[in-house]
């Protein structure tokens, strides 16, 4: 599964999520031989980690809008800020 890492790293979040859903569907079917199930599980874990990293990066970029007294956006602050 090591050779799959560069391929996974190039996937968009949406493509990685679709691939992860496919892996889960195949594993849940119960029709995959044991060795292939292990490979699929490893790929699924790599896809999950990739999706989580993409979500974490997106969250870090999100800013919430802070409205001024007139109701208009006055400034923005980082997503995880208390202000």
- Rounded to two decimals, the pTM is 0.70
Residue 37 lies in a domain: yes
Residue 83 lies in a domain: no
Please tell me what DSSP assigns to residue 73.
E
Residue 52 lies in a domain: yes
pLDDT value for 4? 54
pLDDT value for 20? 97
Q: For the chain, what is the domain count? A: 1
Query: What does each C-alpha distance from 51 to 21, 26, 32, 40, 71 come to in angstroms?
Result: 12, 19, 24, 16, 36
Is the pLDDT assigned to residue 35 strictly greater than 90? Answer: yes
> What are the tens digits of pLDDT across the range 2-28?
445 679 999 999 999 999 999 999 999
Cα dihedral sign, 22-10-13-48: positive
């Amino acid at each position: 599964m090591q050779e799959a890492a560069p391929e996974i790293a190039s996937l968009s979040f949406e493509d990685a999520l679709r691939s992860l859903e496919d892996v889960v569907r195949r594993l849940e079917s119960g029709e995959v031989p044991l060795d292939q199930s292990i490979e699929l599980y490893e790929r699924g874990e790599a896809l999950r980690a990739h999706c989580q990293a993409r979500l974490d990066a997106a969250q870090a970029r999100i800013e919430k809008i802070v409205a001024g007294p007139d109701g208009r956006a006055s400034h923005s602050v980082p997503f995880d800020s208390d202000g």
